[in-house]
């Protein structure tokens, strides 16, 4: 091609491309839709969706697009205002209100792999050995990890009639572990344990505030008072919250008439105060409340009311920091919205909700990184937000409830033997094997002292060390002392749970190695 031809072709292409560009610009200009700049009526969003519906090149899944638009819009709000598809909404409501048949876990799927968030205490999965953080690879022979299995399909595979069996294979610390689980009817109880620690001290562990919390708590408290309870260790560690009215009713049991419990306020919700009516049965019971970094929502309302009224001591670590009032908006297709409408404030005026930051979702990890879990002085305290309890003690805002007595996380007992045993889930697998071997006797024991004697008689230590040795995990002589003081109570607790005492046995044995309980008992003795 000579230069003249090349120049002509270039000019021709320039004209053509110019025409095409002009046509595109003209098309956009001619198709502009009226938009007056008023965002208050969601007009721009509607215009965009209408244009997509009328003109998009392929068939549109309107349901998926609508859901995606809703999720994207809500992401601009607080982290707890969420849209729940039908499956998620049903799971959320079941957790707080009803019963279901299945394996008894909660999980999410952040990266195409289901990760166990929590294992329901006393449920089939916990008894089999599943743990928080396990990655679920297979359900029976079906692989559900890494192949974009829908979450509702995962739920369907794991659920099933009580008595049926399912094998769930998980990855834990690089090891694939299959667990055979017998499905059961999963009661959504909120009291994990309630018993007398000594002649005058009762212990109640509450996992969440469900529709039955006040009834369950009242029944447990009545039982302990009949046994001589004068003081109560109320364990709200890892309590994920729940229904506000149930937290209010439990608070009311401890406070005098007119004592403030909490108030809520929002842009479209005027301030509303909640106070005790003075009719509670536990007003003269000495109280210690145990919290940690996973105590959230309604458990923080309770702890804040107790602290601000100087009704008892708060012991443990700084709570999670979720103090939002959320109202449900349910739709006829089974989906729903959990919409934040107000914030909760303690009686002294502290906002329970922690600030929304860029790393909000990783706040707990940041606390670990900064040493807050092990050193009290590492705790981030906003001293510019100073408030006062009824008796004039200084307390601080900034999110969450800061305990009166700090108890660090104990990281000193993690020997190499303990770590290797954990990686292979040896403790829970051993407990399951012992339960199968001694089920007839264990299932007949309903007295704690009898259980202690029986577990001593069957030589759990020797049996476990032999079991671990066959799995390639051997106890070194230098680790034996820690094993006796730290791991043996765990083994007794795990095996004891298969007795008729169930979770009561588990938590009774665990008291031996629970530093927060030990601290609370020492504080009690000094009052």
Q: Are strands 231-235 and 286-291 parallel, antiparallel or unpaired?
A: parallel
Please name which of 96, 88, 91 lies closest in space to residue 70, comparing C-alpha atoms.
Answer: 88
Helix or strand run (H / E) with residue 452:
helix 448-457
Q: Mark whether 308 is an active-site residue.
A: yes
Encode 159-172: b = buried (16+ Cβ within 10 Å), e = exposed. Answer: eeeeeeebebbbeb
Active-site residue among 308, 404, 503, 514?
Answer: 308
313: helix, strand or coil: strand
Q: Which of 127, 208, 322, 354 is catalytic?
A: 322
Chain-centre distance for alpha carbon 234:
18
As beta bridge partners, residue 345 has: 263, 351
Judge contact between 274 and 345, C-beta under 8 A: no
| Paired strand residues for 116 | 107
Distance of CA 63 to the CA centre of its chain: 30
Catalytic annotation on 322?
Answer: yes
Q: Which two tokens stand for residue 155?
A: 């739920």
User: Is there a catalytic annotation at residue 134?
Assistant: no
Report the candidate in 504, 423, 518, 523 with the shortest Cα–Cα distance to residue 121. Answer: 504
Q: What distance separates the 2 farthest-apart alpha carbons in the chain?
A: 108
Nearest to 319 by CA among 349, 358, 357, 350: 350
Planar angle of CA 436, 438, 442, nearest 5 degrees: 110
Q: Partners of 193 in the beta sheet?
A: 205
User: 382 by DSSP, 3-state: which?
Assistant: coil
The two tokens of residue 459 are 């030589």
Q: How far is residue 428's CA from residue 194's CA, in Å, rounded to a whole number?
A: 23
Question: What stretch of H or E contains 305?
Answer: helix 298-308
Judge whether 323 and 353 are in contact, CB under 8 Å.
yes
Element (H, E) at 344: strand 336-345
Residue among 35, 59, 37, 61 at smallest CA distance from 48: 35
Q: Kindly report the backbone phi and psi dihedral angles of residue 406, in degrees, each rounded to the nearest multiple of 5, phi listed first.
A: -85, 135
- Where do the H-state alpha helices sit in 471-514? 480-482, 488-496, 503-510
Residue identified by tokens 């008689």 is 457
Between CA 497 and CA 158 the distance in angstroms is 24
Place of tokens 């509303």: 272
Which pair of structure tokens corresponds to residue 152?
A: 């509702």
Strands 135-139 and 165-172, sheet pairing:
antiparallel
Structural tokens at position 377:
């002085």
Task: Tell me if residue 287 falls in helix, strand or coil.
Answer: strand
The set of catalytic residues is 297, 308, 322
């Amino acid at each position: 091609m000579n230069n003249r031809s090349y120049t002509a072709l270039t000019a021709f292409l320039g004209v053509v491309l110019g025409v095409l560009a002009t046509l595109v610009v003209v098309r956009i200009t001619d198709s502009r839709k009226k938009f007056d700049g008023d965002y208050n009526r969601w007009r721009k969003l509607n215009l965009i969706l209408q244009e997509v519906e009328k003109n998009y090149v392929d068939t549109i899944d309107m349901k998926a697009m609508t859901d995606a638009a809703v999720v994207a819009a809500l992401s601009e709000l607080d982290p707890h205002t969420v849209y729940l598809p039908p499956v998620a909404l049903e799971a959320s409501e079941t957790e707080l209100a009803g019963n279901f048949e299945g394996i008894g876990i909660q999980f999410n799927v952040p990266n195409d792999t289901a990760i166990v968030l929590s294992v329901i205490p006393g449920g089939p999965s916990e008894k089999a050995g599943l743990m928080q953080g396990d990655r679920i690879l297979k359900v029976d022979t079906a692989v559900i990890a890494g192949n974009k299995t829908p979450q509702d399909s995962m739920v369907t595979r794991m659920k099933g009639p009580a008595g049926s069996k399912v094998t769930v294979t998980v990855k834990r610390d690089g090891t694939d572990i299959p667990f055979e689980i017998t499905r059961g009817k999963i009661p959504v109880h909120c009291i994990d344990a309630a018993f007398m620690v000594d002649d005058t001290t009762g212990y109640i562990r509450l996992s969440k505030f469900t529709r039955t919390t006040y009834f369950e708590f009242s029944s447990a408290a009545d039982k302990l008072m009949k046994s001589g309870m004068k003081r109560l260790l109320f364990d709200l560690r890892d309590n994920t919250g729940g229904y506000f009215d149930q937290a209010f009713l439990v608070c009311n049991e401890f406070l005098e008439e007119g004592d403030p419990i909490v108030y809520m306020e929002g842009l479209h919700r005027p301030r509303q105060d909640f106070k005790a009516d003075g009719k509670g049965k536990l007003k003269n019971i000495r109280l210690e409340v145990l919290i940690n970094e996973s105590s959230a929502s309604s458990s923080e309302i309770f702890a804040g009311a107790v602290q601000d009224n100087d009704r008892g001591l708060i012991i443990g670590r700084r709570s999670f920091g979720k103090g939002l009032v959320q109202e449900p908006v349910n739709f006829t297709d089974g989906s729903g919205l959990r919409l934040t409408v107000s914030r909760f404030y303690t009686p002294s005026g502290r906002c329970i909700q922690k600030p929304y930051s860029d790393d909000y979702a990783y706040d707990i990890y940041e606390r670990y990184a900064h040493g807050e879990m092990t050193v009290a002085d590492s705790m981030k305290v906003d001293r510019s937000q100073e408030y006062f309890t009824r008796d004039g003690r200084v307390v601080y805002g900034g999110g969450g409830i800061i305990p009166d007595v700090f108890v660090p996380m104990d990281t000193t007992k993690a020997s190499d033997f303990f770590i290797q045993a954990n990686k292979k889930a040896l403790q829970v697998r051993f407990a399951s094997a012992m339960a199968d071997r001694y089920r007839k006797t264990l299932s007949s024991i309903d007295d704690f002292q009898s259980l202690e004697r029986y577990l001593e008689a069957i030589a759990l230590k020797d049996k476990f060390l032999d079991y671990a040795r066959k799995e390639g995990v051997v106890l070194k002589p230098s680790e034996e002392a820690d094993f006796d003081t730290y791991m043996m109570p765990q083994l007794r607790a795990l095996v004891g749970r298969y007795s008729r005492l169930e979770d009561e046995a588990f938590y009774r044995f665990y008291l031996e190695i629970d530093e927060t309980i030990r601290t609370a008992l020492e504080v009690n003795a000094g009052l």
